[in-house]
Amino acid sequence: MLELVELSDKTITIERNEFLKVKGSIDTNLYYLQSGSLRIFVLDDYEEQVIRLGYKDNLIVSLDSFLTGKSSNLFIQAIKKTVLKVISKSQIDKFLETESNKNLWRKILENLVLQQMEREIDILTNSPKERYDRVLKRSPQLFQEIPNRHIANYLRMSAETLSRLKKS
């Protein structure tokens, strides 16, 4: 992953609650979080549904827009002041000219897809406690970096349920 980050020649800072991307926009950049935290969400009948959270050392991307070059329904918003390394699609395309880099990229994409599938299955089949336990085991740092209300939304439970699970 560091090979990708080294491609970046641009760093941006976005303030708390500022949007990196809004619904209907095209974003063909990949972002590496140097500090801060972000949430990726969609609006569902005026209700936000968090689909991904990111914090220090994570890669964040509006994957549908990145891959297709078309607009996306995703919003990406800073939870707190966030510093990002920006890696453009053209930088990645150039990076992918070597076979070893293609293999690295494939592994990154496979990991993103597998994480998303695991999360979907988790939401559809597991109890709130099981979802909480899995995320705590997989990403304990999440609970230091992200406010509970966003974690609860991500886990599809109320903030009260998350609070109760954390206490038990």
pLDDT of residue 1: 72
pTM for this model (two decimals)? 0.91
pLDDT of residue 44: 86
Phi, psi (deg, nearest 5) at residue 4: -70, -45
**Which regions in the chain score pLDDT beneath 70?**
none
Do residues 58 and 35 lie in contact, with contact meaning Cβ atoms separated by under 8 Å? no
Distance CA 141, CA 4 (A): 23
Residue 107: count of CB within 10 angstroms of its CB: 11
pLDDT of residue 46: 85
pLDDT of residue 167: 92
pLDDT, one tens digit per residue, over 43-79 is: 988 899 999 999 999 999 999 999 999 999 999 999 9
pLDDT of residue 144: 92
Task: List the domains of the chain with CATH numbers.
Answer: 2-167 (2.60.120.10)
